[in-house]
Amino acid sequence: MAVITISREFGSEGSLVAEKTAQILGYHLADKQTIEAILRTDCAVPEFQREYASVPGFWDRFDLRRMERRQVLIESLNRAILALAQHGNMVIVGRGGFSVLKGLADVLHVRIQAPLPVRIRRVTELPEATVPSRAERFILENDKIQRSFIESVYGVPWDTAKPFDLVLDTGKIAPDLAAGWLVQAVQAMSGGGFTASGLEVDPVFAARVNGVFHCEAHAA
């Protein structure tokens, strides 16, 4: 019933590592689309995406209506992450899962990163960023968004290694090897202490999580 959270830099192939790890373990993969499916009946997904992708400015802090709405969206996100973790056998990608689930004995927190030149080379393989200068802009913009979200919402420095159990550099470690290491790490965890399976979660969000994966199972 273990859980893995994966925080990744854009272009680090962290999503690929997450997919491979979930496949080997037979775990559910909770990515951006999964989170959107859980939140869809609670709040407008486009609004959440706008909030996630926006960098709050100085004057935004005086817009009480917007800040209250942002807080509602963040609370919904946190409830979704808690319900995913309580479900168990889960690989959760991004969205601050490492912070929401910190201190739980059966949760492995992982950061996937790579040097900027490596990320640029990988991103140039995308159709919309075939020129290195454009790929670098994509990466730096994405880094800025992630940094703003993690630091403003959870108060954690975005590039710190402290919250993580493992930090892997895919500039040196291939995704297949990284996934293999994560599988070994999860299987070696003792699980002593308070675990995600013991979390008390919002029953509405627990039902939504069950519904999402029930639909996936039937679609497969």
pLDDT of amino acid 149: 86
The residue with tokens 């999503």 is 15
**Residues 4, 107 contacting (CB under 8 angstroms):** yes
Count H helices and E strands in the chain, helices first: 9, 5
Determine the Cα–Cα distance for residues 35 and 42; give it in Å rounded to an integer.
11
Determine the Cα–Cα distance for residues 45 and 72; give it in Å rounded to an integer.
13
Determine the Cα–Cα distance for residues 175 and 110; give it in Å rounded to an integer.
13
- Coil, strand or helix at 20: helix
Nearest to 10 by CA among 138, 103, 104, 200: 138
Domain with 80 in it: 3-219
Residue 57 has pLDDT above 60, yes or no: no
Please report, for the domain that includes residue 72, its CATH number.
3.40.50.300
Residue 23 has pLDDT above 90, yes or no: yes
- What are the pLDDT digits (tens) for 121-177? 999 998 888 899 999 999 999 999 889 889 988 999 988 999 999 999 999 999 999
Lowest mean pLDDT among 60-64, 174-178, 188-192: 60-64
State both tokens at 43. 């709040």
Angle (nearest 5°) at CA 168 between 166 and 172 = 155
Residue 59 has pLDDT above 60, yes or no: no
Q: What percent of the chain has pLDDT over 70?
A: 85
Nearest to 101 by CA among 119, 86, 113: 86
Number of domains in the chain: 1
What is the SS3 string spanning 116-146? HHHHHHHHCCCHHHCCHHHHHHHHHHHHHHH
pLDDT of amino acid 58: 41
- What are the pLDDT digits (tens) for 193-208? 889 988 999 999 999 9
Q: What percent of the chain has pLDDT over 90?
A: 58
| Sequence-separated (6 or more) residues with CB below 8 Å from residue 181 | 166, 168, 173
pLDDT of amino acid 70: 74
Query: C-alpha 181: how far from its chain's center?
Result: 19
pLDDT, greater one: 117 or 41: 117
Q: Kindly report the pTM of this predicted structure.
A: 0.86
What is the average pLDDT value for the chain, to the nearest integer? 86
| Sequence-separated (6 or more) residues with CB below 8 Å from residue 23 | none
pLDDT of amino acid 66: 63
Mean pLDDT of 76-83: 93
Residue 109 has pLDDT above 50, yes or no: yes
- Coil, strand or helix at 71: helix
Mean pLDDT of 56-62: 48
Residue 90 has pLDDT above 70, yes or no: yes
Residue 62 has pLDDT above 70, yes or no: no
pLDDT of amino acid 218: 56
